[in-house]
């Protein structure tokens, strides 16, 4: 085992969210098998920011966990994740939708909602317009958000 370095080692440590003992590497990285949180030292340094590969901030995750809820993004968290990753997705009634930031070149960033089945694209001028006006299957996204699934960054 001579050529093993500290970077290969796995340690026992507390999950940042549920505090149960989990396996972590030297960067504090490890997915918690109990609450699903993806641990990383960067979370504790930026507790209010969405850090890859999570979709909510550490403080939000702790808050949800304390309430006995699953660590899932609400629409505001999802928009925060969009700004962290540039491309995110969700599914509704089995259809996946890609949400992307566009317009970087023009310096005028907008939000595009893309239906991967119909190939329809809708563009919203800013976060508020997306949050309040985005429509999915004729319904306001903000009203059906709890029924969406597979929220994630685009892989
Ligand atoms: Zn945990």
Taking the model in full, what pTM does it have? 0.86
Spacing, Cα 62 to ligand 1 middle (Å): 9
Spacing, Cα 89 to ligand 1 middle (Å): 24
Q: Are residues 79 and 147 both part of a single domain?
A: yes
Residue 107's pLDDT is: 85
Give residue 21's domain range: 6-66
Last residue of a domain, one of 43, 66, 89: 66
Last residue of a domain, one of 48, 66, 84: 66
Spacing, Cα 47 to ligand 1 middle (Å): 15
Question: Rounded distance, CA 40 to CA 43, Å?
Answer: 6
Q: Is residue 86 part of a domain?
A: yes
Strand 21-24 to 11-14 pairing = antiparallel
Spacing, Cα 121 to ligand 1 middle (Å): 37
The tally of domains found in the chain comes to: 2
Q: Are residues 27 and 80 both part of a single domain?
A: no
What is the tens place of the pLDDT at every residue in 65-99? 999 999 999 999 999 999 999 999 999 999 999 99
Q: Are residues 52 and 18 both part of a single domain?
A: yes
Q: Is residue 26 part of a domain?
A: yes
What is the tens place of the pLDDT at every residue in 10-53? 999 999 999 999 999 988 999 999 999 999 999 999 999 998 89
Q: Is residue 1 part of a domain?
A: no
Residue 1's pLDDT is: 47
What's the length of the chain?
A: 155
């Amino acid at each position: 085992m001579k050529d093993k370095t500290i970077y290969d080692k796995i340690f026992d440590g507390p999950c940042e969210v549920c505090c149960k003992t989990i396996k972590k590497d030297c960067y504090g990285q490890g997915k918690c098998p109990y609450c699903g949180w993806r641990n990383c030292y960067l979370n504790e340094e930026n507790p209010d920011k969405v850090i890859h590969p999570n979709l909510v901030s550490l403080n939000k995750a702790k808050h949800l966990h304390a309430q006995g809820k699953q660590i899932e993004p609400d629409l505001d968290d999802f928009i925060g994740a969009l700004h962290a990753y540039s491309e995110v997705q969700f599914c509704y009634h089995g259809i996946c939708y890609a949400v992307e930031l566009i317009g970087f070149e023009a310096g005028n960033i907008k939000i595009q909602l893309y239906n991967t089945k119909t190939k329809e694209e809708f563009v919203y001028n800013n976060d508020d317009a997306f949050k309040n006006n985005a429509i999915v299957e004729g319904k306001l996204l903000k009203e059906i958000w709890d029924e969406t699934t597979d929220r994630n960054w685009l892989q």
